A and B are shown apart, each in its own frame.
Chain A
Amino acid sequence: MLRYANPANFLRLARVGIPLAGGLSALLFAVGLWLVFARSPADYQQGETVRIMYIHVPAAWLGMASYSLMALSALGTLVWRHPLADVSAKALAPIGAAFTLLCLVTGSLWGKPMWGTWWVWDARLTSVLVLFLMYAGIMALWNAFEDPARAGRAVAVLTLVGFVNIPIVKFSVDWWNTLHQPASVIRLDGPTIHPSMLTPLLVMAFAFTALLLALHMMGMRNEILARRIRALGLTAARGEEAAE
């Protein structure tokens, strides 16, 4: 880990890691979509609409996973002062927001034919909406500071405070009576979903995870370049001031 704490080392790692993770994601998406549309059956109750699950559920998982990674990065910023921690956190915010938005949109598109409504204010849906709003607030806070190091510390505090929402999202279906169904994959007593649907779901989840890895590395690479540009811009400005 510490070996890649240096941005130059990270950029070398990203040069190999981005095409690897991107290629793996594309391959898994191809296999996953084939399983979803050619192999998996329609649900006995929900019919063909169950196919929405194969993007809705991975999007939900990644929305929560991205926030959990941001919280880990926040600890890296505040506790260990890892030089790439806030770069990692900043790169994750728009990706997590996009996956959470996709979860909300596909959930709504699944809810309308199954529940007869696009939206209900139940605990699961509301806590996921709060997660999306947290992402939006964090992205706004990143843009409110000129100095990325100061922004990093403020965002890290907000991220850790907001992390309390992650267990609420996960356990909302157990703690409250919700229209949303309870967990059927990540359960202490094992998945309750049939293997013919579980396999394509897991393949799609791995495809989304590899995509997250590739996008995260791309975002971190872009943020490192942005900070180099900022540093060079400041050096150039100081040089011009000294010449005058």
Chain B
Amino acid sequence: MSAFFGEHGGFILASYAAALVVISGLVARAVVEHRLRRRELERLEAKGVRRRSETAA
């Protein structure tokens, strides 16, 4: 790294690596949570559970 960014290349690389970890963590969490919740919702609906507003209609 020092060839590209001088003597402090490690600090620059570590900063961008931290950003990559945080951003990919946030995106992965949102995507996985969405899949799990959709699956749970489909499971409940397959059991015939409906919201009161839907059963009344």
Classify chain A's interface size: 35 or more
With both chains docked as a complex, state the minimum distance between the C-beta of B40 and any C-beta of chain A, in angstroms: 5
Least CB distance from A201 to B in Å reads 14
In the complex with contacts A109-B15, A235-B49, A229-B8 CB distance below 8 A: no
Asked whether, in the complex, the Cβ of B15 is within 8 Å of the Cβ of A106, the reply is yes
Q: B11, A52: Cβ atoms under 8 Å?
A: yes
Contact B15–A222 (Cβ < 8 Å): no
B33, A222: Cβ atoms closer than 8 Å: yes
Contacts A109-B11, A222-B33 given; does A233 touch B27 at CB 8 Å: no
Q: Contacts A113-B8, A235-B51 given: A215-B26 contact, CB under 8 Å? A: yes
- Residues of chain B contacted by A221 (CB below 8 angstroms): 34
- Are the C-beta atoms of A48 and B49 separated by less than 8 Å? no
- Among A47, A94, A106, A229, which residue has its beta carbon within 8 angstroms of that of B41? A229
Q: Is the CB of A49 within 8 A of B19?
A: no
21 A-B pairs within 8 Å (CB atoms) are namely A42-B6, A48-B5, A48-B6, A49-B11, A51-B5, A55-B19, A94-B29, A110-B15, A113-B8, A215-B30, A218-B31, A222-B30, A225-B37, A228-B51, A231-B51, A232-B44, A232-B45, A232-B51, A235-B51, A236-B47, A239-B49
Q: Report A's interface with B, CB cutoff 8 A.
A: 42, 47-49, 51-52, 55-56, 59, 94-95, 98-99, 101-102, 105-106, 109-110, 112-113, 211, 215, 218-219, 221-222, 225-226, 228-229, 231-233, 235-236, 239
